Amino acid sequence: MKLNLRKVGAIALVALATALLTFSCGQAGGTASGIGQGSGKNGPIADKVIYEVRMDQTLAVKDIVEGKADVFFQSVPSAILNTLSDADLDKLEIYAVPSGSWSLLLNPIPNAAPYTWTEPKTGTTTFNPLAIKEVRFALNWLFNRKKMVDEILQGNGEPTYTPMTPGQPGTYRYNLIPAKYGVSPTGDERRAIADIEAAITAAANLPENKGKLVKKGQFWQYNGKDVTIKFLIRVDDPNGRLPAGRYMSDQLEKAGIKVERLERDRSAISMAYYSDPADMVFHIYTEGWGAGATRAWWDVTVSQMYAPYYGYMPGGAEPENWNYVQDEIDDLGQKGMNGQYLTADDYWAGNLRATELGFTDAVRINLVTQLDRYVANKARFNNRMAYGLGDGLNGWSIRTADVKPEADGSKVLRVIQFSARGTLFMSAWNPVGVDGFSDVYSSSIVEAICDPSTFESPNNAKDIPFRTSYDVKSIKFDAKLVGE
C-alpha cells in the first residue's frame, strides 16, 4: 500500500512514553492481533520521541544542521539540499531512497458519450474532454516525464508509468506493460496533440454535440465558451508539484484545452478526494505518494490505485456520489486482495490484466518517482539509522534510532515533520477503514508504537511474522473447490 501525501491535521507535538508502549493496530491490508507491552530491555533505544512541526522546509533543514532537532522525516527537495554549504552538508547524514512519486487523478465524468455533464448545483452543461478515454490516454505522450525529472527534480528521480516503484522487487513485470504501448520518458507532443484533436473531433461529430462543440482559434468551445478544465495544483510543494502542474497546464493548452489553474495548499485535498465528481470542482489533481514499504507483492497497490471499490478513485466509492466504474478491475483486484487465485500463473495474469486496464483507462496517470533524500544530524547519533530500501525512513528507523544521551542520561529523539499549515493529522486518529493511518504524517508515529501481525522486510520485501505465526507448508484445504 502507498501512503498518501494528501492528509495532514491537529497540531502535533507528541512525546511518546519511555520505551514506547507498543500495541497492535488493524491497518489497511493487515489484521489486528494481540496487545503486547514493550519492555525496557527489549524496547526501542530512545526513551522518548518528540515530534515537531515546521512550516518551511528550508527552516526544517536548518534546524537539523544546527542540532535543534535530530531527523527530518520528510524528504528534502534537491532545490534546497543543493544550496547547502559543504560545511553544512558535513553535519548531515543523508539517506537516499527512491520512495516518493507523483501521479495525476482525473475526473472522467460522465465517462461516456456524448461526454457532457449538467452540474446539479448550477444546472450548467459543459463538455469534459477527460471523459474521453483516448484523450486521457494521450496525456501519457503529452507530458515529458524526463523534462520533469531533469528540470524540476534536478535529476533525482526517474519517469514512471505504473504505481509500482521502479527498482523494487517484483515490479519489472508490471512496468513492461507501458513499454508494450510505446510510452517513452520524453513522450511525443506531436502525437499527443494529434490524438487529442482526433478524439475531440470525433466527439464534435456526435449528433448531440453537432454545432455545439467546435474549434475556434486556439481552444475548443462548447456552446460558445472555451472548453475549460480545472487543474488542482499543490502550491505548498513549491519545488515539485507546483512547477510540474504549471508545465502540464501549458501542455494541455497546446492541445486546445483551456486550463483554469487552481493553485491551492492542502485545501485541495477535500476538493480532490472528498467532493462529488458530479459537482465538477476539479478535473485534474497533482497527487503525491510515499512508497509505504519495501514490497515484492503489489496486489494491494493494484486495487488501491486502479480499482473503484477500494475508494481511491473518483467518487470514493461513496454511494451518494457519482462514481467511476470499472467492474473488471474491481473483480480482479478483489481476487488479488483476498488470495483467490489458485496458481501463480493465475495470480500474475490477473494482476497484470488489472494493471493494464488501469493504465489504458488512464483515470490515474503516474508521472515520476523521486529519489527522496532524508537528513539527520550526524553528531546526534552513534550509528546511521535503519531505513527501508523502498520507503526510506519508517517506524523501524524510530525504534532503532541510536541517539546519543542527554546530560541526564536519557535518550530523546527529536523528529521534524513538514506541514505548510503547521498542523498534522487531518484524518481521524483511527486505525479502522481504508484511510486509517494511511497518510505519511500519522504513519511516522503509529508505525513506531504499533506491532503489526506481519511486516514486509525492509531489505528484501519478504513477509515476516511478527505478532502472529504461520506455516504455509502445513496449511490444509478442507473446502471443495467448484469451478465453471
Every domain of the chain and the residues it spans = 9-97+372-472, 100-370
Cell 515520476 belongs to residue: 368
Which distant-in-sequence residues (6+ apart) come within 8 Å of 237 by Cβ?
286, 288
Question: Closest by alpha carbon to 132, among 110, 162, 117?
Answer: 110
In degrees, rounded to 5, the angle at the alpha carbon of residue 461 between the alpha carbons of residues 339 and 273 is 65
Cβ count near 263 (within 10 Å) = 15
CATH architecture of 100-370: Roll (3.10)
Cβ–Cβ < 8 Å for 242, 263: yes
Q: How far apart are CA 371 and CA 77, in angstroms?
A: 9
Structure confidence at residue 339 as a pLDDT band (50, 70, 90): confident
Structure confidence at residue 426 as a pLDDT band (50, 70, 90): low
Which distant-in-sequence residues (6+ apart) come within 8 Å of 193 by Cβ?
142, 254, 255, 256
Lowest mean pLDDT among 380-384, 394-398, 446-450: 446-450
- C-alpha separations of 280 from 117, 120, 177, 232 in Å: 9, 10, 31, 12
Q: pTM score, two decimals?
A: 0.80
The grid coordinates listed for 123 are 444546472
Statement: residue 8 has pLDDT above 60: no
User: What percent of the chain is modeled with pLDDT above 90?
Assistant: 63
Cβ–Cβ < 8 Å for 46, 38: no
In degrees, rounded to 5, the angle at the alpha carbon of residue 235 between the alpha carbons of residues 233 and 241 is 60
β-strands 116-118, 454-456 pairing: unpaired
Mean pLDDT of the chain: 87
Structure confidence at residue 18 as a pLDDT band (50, 70, 90): very low
Lowest mean pLDDT among 49-63, 175-189, 305-319, 437-451: 437-451
Structure confidence at residue 17 as a pLDDT band (50, 70, 90): very low
Statement: residue 329 has pLDDT above 80: yes
Cβ count near 68 (within 10 Å) = 14
Statement: residue 21 has pLDDT above 50: no
Paired with 372 in beta bridges are 97
**Total length of the chain:** 484
Structure confidence at residue 117 as a pLDDT band (50, 70, 90): very high
Find the helix packing angle between 189-204 and 241-254, rounded to 10°.
60
Looking at residue 83, its pLDDT comes to: 93
Which distant-in-sequence residues (6+ apart) come within 8 Å of 281 by Cβ?
230, 271, 275
Mean pLDDT of 284-291: 91
Residue 439 is given by DSSP the state B
Mean pLDDT of 349-374: 96
Q: pLDDT digits over 396-408, tens only?
A: 899 999 999 999 9
Statement: residue 88 has pLDDT above 80: yes
Which distant-in-sequence residues (6+ apart) come within 8 Å of 89 by Cβ?
none
Paired with 270 in beta bridges are none
Mean pLDDT of 14-29: 37
Which distant-in-sequence residues (6+ apart) come within 8 Å of 431 by Cβ?
25, 26, 27, 32, 437, 446, 450
Paired with 460 in beta bridges are none
Phi, psi of 263 (to 5 degrees): -85, 110
Residue 209 is given by DSSP the state G
SS3 222: strand
Q: How far apart are CA 307 and CA 229, in angstroms?
A: 24
Statement: residue 121 has pLDDT above 90: no
Structure confidence at residue 477 as a pLDDT band (50, 70, 90): low
Q: How far apart are CA 387 and CA 225, in angstroms?
A: 53
β-strands 157-159, 364-377 pairing: antiparallel
Cβ–Cβ < 8 Å for 160, 101: yes
Residue 150 is given by DSSP the state I
Structure confidence at residue 481 as a pLDDT band (50, 70, 90): low
Q: pLDDT digits over 454-473, tens only?
A: 887 766 777 888 888 888 77
Structure confidence at residue 480 as a pLDDT band (50, 70, 90): low
Q: How far apart are CA 107 and CA 84, in angstroms?
A: 40
